[in-house]
Structure 1
Amino acid sequence: MSEPQTSGDELAIPSELKVLHDAITATMVAALPQVRHVEAYPVLKEGMKLPALIYAMTAVEPATKPGDGRLCVRATFEACILVESKRKMAPLQAAILAAKLMQLLDEQYWDVEFVDQVRGVQAMPSEMIPELARCTGWSVLWQQDIYLGDTEWPWENEPPGSLVFVVGPDAEHVKPEELA
């Protein structure tokens, strides 16, 4: 994917990240109707509808390169489920919503082709955030490999599809796409 066009104060970001965040938000909204507000990178403000699910990508590290010109990064995401503290059994309600989010994350690809499945999912009660003193929360963390950039064919003299591998004791010729 190519870089998106930007204007004014907007920074250029790899478009895969924007597509992924849009897909995550849409999937969470559709799958978790109990949550009244889902937002990535929110500005915490008074009057946010609760229960809420806010999330962000909180870390990125190199991952195994696919060898096709793209960069693979392992992204860590953190979501926070917020429930009004004055609700009856608020900590349990937050834990239940966190468990529902964990269910949604199980083997999740967000219907985009440039990510591997979610892994390393864990949940725990959230630390207290002063701006959210009226809330009880649970945090859910997960990791996902993301492939950034366009694929490239590094062999100029060979058109795509002309590469074959010799495999097995009978020296059988196999095209790479047949190995998938």
Structure 2
Amino acid sequence: MNKYDPLELIHQTMVDTLTNHFGKRLEFVQAYNLGKCLNSPGIYLGMHQMEVGENPGDGRHVIHADWFCYCVLANSTPDLAIEIRRMACEVMRLLNEPETGLWGLDNVVGLPKHIQAIPALFNPDTKGYESWEVTWQQSFYMGESLWEDDGETPKTVLASHVPYTGKAHEPRYKPL
């Protein structure tokens, strides 16, 4: 996995976060694969579209993405109409909390925005389960930042004027 191409990392941390939250209540948390049979109970993750964002000025590229997850429960689930909505609400709550909505990748992704849920209809002929689609917008960064460094981040910015610049004149520098 290339740390500067974060798609696999983001996907895996989404899967891990949702799996840890729901625990044994779900059998599946995985990528949505069009044409594959859906199993229940499960969450299927994917992306509707991506577009390039403004240059952040640090050597990386911003990608704005429209993400989704399908929450799926079998028709045999007791109180199905309430439980499927409850599941969608739990996903929305996780997305809305910075600790979980950033997936532990706060240097790679931005906070989720425009979090919403609607009933999901894949195929009107499909019977046996109920699904809701949770959607959100979340940006991520691709590439290496020019500002990542192994050193300590400066706490104070110091300045001086020519000709009193450079190592020999450090005592003359003043905080900004």
Q: TM-score range by the shorter chain?
A: 0.7 to 0.9
* TM superposition shift of 1:88: 2.8
Q: Which moved more, 1:20-29 or 1:127-136?
A: 127-136
Which residue of structure 1 aligns with residue 37 of structure 2?
Answer: 45
CA distance in 2, matches of 1:31, 1:21: 15
* Post-superposition offset of 1:72: 0.3
CA shift in 2, pair 1:25/1:132, >3 Å: farther
Which of 28, 32, 40 is the equivalent residue of 2:22?
Answer: 32
Q: Distance in 2 between matches of 1:37 and 1:130?
A: 23
With normalisation by structure 2, the TM-score equals 0.74
User: Is 1:61 matched with 2:51?
Assistant: yes
Match of 1:105 in 2: 95
Stretches of structure 2 that go unaligned for 5 or more consecutive residues are 148-153, 160-173
Equivalent AA in structure 2 for residue 55 of structure 1: L
Compute the displacement of 1:55 (Å). Answer: 1.2
Contact 1:44–1:131 (CA under 8 A) maintained in structure 2: no
Aligned-partner Cα distance in 2 for 1:132–1:35: 21
2:120 matches 1:120: no
Offset at residue 59 of structure 1 (A):
0.8
User: Which residue does the alignment assign to 2:136?
Assistant: 142
Are the counterparts in 2 of residues 74 and 143 from structure 1 also a CA contact under 8 Å? yes
Q: Deviations over 1:46-85 (max 9, x none)?
A: 7x3x211001021111223210111001111111011111
Structure with greater Cα Rg: 2
Gaps of 5+ in 1: 5-13, 154-160, 167-171, 175-180
The residue type paired with residue 57 of structure 2 is G
Q: In structure 1, what residue type is equivalent to 2:77?
A: R
Tell me which amino acid in the other structure corresponds to 2:37.
Answer: K
**Match for residue 63 of structure 2?**
73
**How large is the RMSD of aligned CA atoms in angstroms?**
2.6
Partner of 2:171: none
- 4+ residue runs of structure 1 moved beyond 4 angstroms? none
- Secondary structure at 2:81 match in 1: helix
Change (3 A) 1:15 1:25: same
